[in-house]
Amino acid sequence: MPHDRVEALNARTRGFSPRAVLEQALGETGRTALVSSFGAEAVVLLHLAATLDPGLPVIFIDTEMLFPETYAYQHDLAERLGLTDLRLIRPDAAALAARDPDGSLHRRDTDGCCDLRKTLPLAQALHGFDAWITGRKRFHGAERTGLEHFEVEPTGRIKVNPLAHVRREGIAAYMDAHDLPRHPLVARGYASIGCTPCTTRTAPGEDARAGRWRGSDKTECGVHLIGRKPAPAPAQQEDAA
């Protein structure tokens, strides 16, 4: 059973380094993709993956509302790390025209905007994969405080969180040790980076994700609810240039 398998994987990897967790996942979870926002801390997981398997499929969701700095960082980082299977996915054009023709949906329905621009495209892109890798960490707080290395979705697909138990200081130390470039917006006070309308700077001492959907109760875009509800039929994917 998938739940028994995940429990065994969590028991086996307790105390493992992120690299060891990732090695375990790539060896045992079948066809696997890494999903990355190319955000504030994304370079750590991307570097780990590139050192183990530069051909690992990496899915980048272009919501068409990202910061210009994120697009530039994604392009530069993919080249620097030698990622050879980067998959750029976008929201469906017809769905955008019908539900958000003027790009203002986020002002009246943030959940609907995230669903349209992130959750549905990713659900389609993950069809055919047995597992997917995320960069979530316990120190992000809220729903993430109890994260384990492995989770199972109702569909049976496995979700892998190699950095779940890493502390904030460990992320910075890894970047320094490997001379990895930071997202350019980090130096300008953005601790967590998403779409431009729903991302603000964080003040000293604030939670890393405090700048996401500021002023609302929303803490997650919905991507991590994939697998808990039926996904749409697969759509054609586009490889990143």
Q: What are phi and psi of 177, to 5 degrees?
A: -65, -35
Q: Which residues pair with 102 in a beta bridge?
A: none
Cα–Cα nearest to 158, from 11, 32, 55:
32
Write a three-state SS string for 36-61.
ECCCCCHHHHHHHHHHHCCCCCEEEE
Going through the chain in order, the beta strands assigned E by DSSP cover 32-36, 58-61, 86-89, 131-133, 150-152, 158-160, 238-239
- Angle at the Cα of 43 from the Cα atoms of 65 and 194, rounded to 5 degrees: 20
What's the CA gap between 126 and 205, in Å, rounded? 36
Q: Do the strands 58-61 and 32-36 form a parallel or antiparallel pair, or are they unpaired?
A: parallel
In whole angstroms, give the CA distance from residue 15 to residue 10: 10
- Three-state SS for 65? coil
Cα–Cα distance, 42 to 39 (Å, whole number):
5
Tell me which residues are annotated as active site: 221
